[in-house]
Amino acid sequence: MGENSQNTNLASEYYVLSMLYRIGADAYLTLGNKKSVDIVVVKGGETLTIDVKGLKGTTNFPIDNVNKQDEKHYLIFVSFLNNIADPGCLPEVYIVPSQALALEHEEIGNQSLMYQNPKGNRRVVQLSRLRKTYKRYKDKWEYFVESPIVL
């Protein structure tokens, strides 16, 4: 796919959409380049929104454009690390309710998932912080299905 970050984001969005279809979710991709809602899921008559963040080759997910924090909005962090060109590589996926971004998490020393640099002009979610909260957010696809997932 080359070094184009847009390709990483598109691959991440389509990966998430594919997973949602696999678990039986009623999901729709939104169109546009600069948007904060990438996927819409209809669950039990409610509309849930998803912002997908894709990553390869670095360890920080930029979230400068994340403004929506409500109980029906989720961020899905998809990390391919350096293996995005390998079709056999499964990404790490963390599904975080938007309201949880600013909460303190005991797994990471009562810090929030969101990190803001000292200048205050850049916000990111570090992959290392997500990995420490894996039990809470890793592969939590059940947010989007009507009935429990049976594996």
Instruction: Print pLDDT tens along the chain (151 aa).
Output: 345 666 888 999 999 999 999 999 999 999 876 678 999 999 989 999 999 999 987 889 999 888 777 889 999 999 998 788 888 888 999 999 999 998 999 999 999 999 888 888 889 999 999 999 999 999 999 999 876 655 5
* Tokens 């899905």 found at: 76
In a domain, 130, yes or no: yes
- Residue 67 inside a domain? The answer is yes
* Domain annotation covers residue 151: no
pTM: 0.90
Count: domains in the chain: 1
**Do the domain assignments include residue 139?**
yes
Both ends of the chain: CA-CA distance in Å? 32
- What does the pLDDT read at residue 1? 37
Q: Is there a domain that residue 34 lies in?
A: yes
- Residue 73, domain CATH: 3.40.1350.10
Classify residue 149: in a domain, yes or no.
Answer: no
Would residue 125 count as lying in a domain? yes
pLDDT of residue 51: 95
Domain limits for position 53 = 5-144
**Structural domain contains residue 150:** no
pLDDT of residue 2: 44
